[in-house]
Structure 1
Amino acid sequence: MIELDSEGKRKAGYGKWEKIPSRSDLDNYLLGTLNKGWFRASPDKKLFVKASIFRDRLEIFDYQTKEFVVVDGPRLELPKFEISGSGANSALIFNPEEAYGHRDIAFGKSYIYDLYGGYNEMHIQQTNVIAKTVYVLTTKGDMVAKLDLDRSVRSITVDESLGKIHGITTDEDPGIAVFDIPKELLKN
């Protein structure tokens, strides 16, 4: 992660791509593709989370301590892919049967809400179902709850003061769905 000042000049850099021992053929560009996903910041800009779409990995960065917490799962294996081309012209080509992973991140006061997919492109095209699971994690990456939604959404936002998760639906006539956050999660 790179921190820039208000003029776009580099202030600092944090972390490095973790090399994968079984895949020494992956350079930084290809590792970036493998770890591609959503990048979100908490409202107070103290936590930053990158949620990978191809690989089931969350990277939580605490800006105050400058430390990363990496959360792998629910699938621990790497997605199937091939490297096409070589050198500067190489790219990862993912097997179309591979399911997508994390779809979005939202922040509450005490928790991180992780919208998780688990569906491949063919399933999405046939059903319009993108994601129906929300994992609730502490800021240290410990899972405290798994919420199963009754409909598919593509993105979420959270309002813990109202006890609600709002999501953009993926049905034929998209709208906003509202889900209750279990009361035991709101006690913190």
Structure 2
Amino acid sequence: MATIAVHEFVSLDGVIEDPSWTFDYGFDPQMGETIGRITEGATAILLGRTTYEMFAPAWRDRTPEDDPGAPFFNETPKYVVGARPLVEEWANTTALGAYSTDTIRKLKDEHDGVIYISGSGQLVRGLLADGLIDELHLFVYPVALGKGERLWREDETRLALQSHDVYPNGVVHLSYAPAAKTD
């Protein structure tokens, strides 16, 4: 059975929308190493439709010479959750249709290793609410944006800190697992 590992770029106030605001901080090579560790056991990528439509044109034509992450994103099987049909073509992609906990559980059962998610805020919120995320990796940037789509909504989410890293650019990586339930 696979585990689901999520990676999000997030502001101090929880904003995940349009992470172009991260550019001001640069991408520290140590962050790339951390993301590499998260993805190294991945046997599948799971994305929401909106993130897929941003990733497909950005990654599908990249080569290893352009970006060392290109083989991972282009060759790994990709599964997309979304009610609307996919417009963008990208190799090794399967549309799963509208969000369904049963579909996600079946996907976890059919895979070994890690199912990796990047971005996909709406999908991640659903998976968190349904207890289907095994690892949540937050790359927290030292800025409060004050507006934008946030990862956290009004539902309570309890997590257990597993590890953390601090990078020279001021970004903090927080690795969480689901918190043990208490009665």
- TM-score tier by shorter-chain length is under 0.3
Which structure has more relative contact order (CA 8 Å, sep 6+)? It is 2
TM-score (norm. length: structure 2): 0.25
Structure in which a larger fraction of residues adopt strand: 1
Structure in which a larger fraction of residues adopt helix: 2
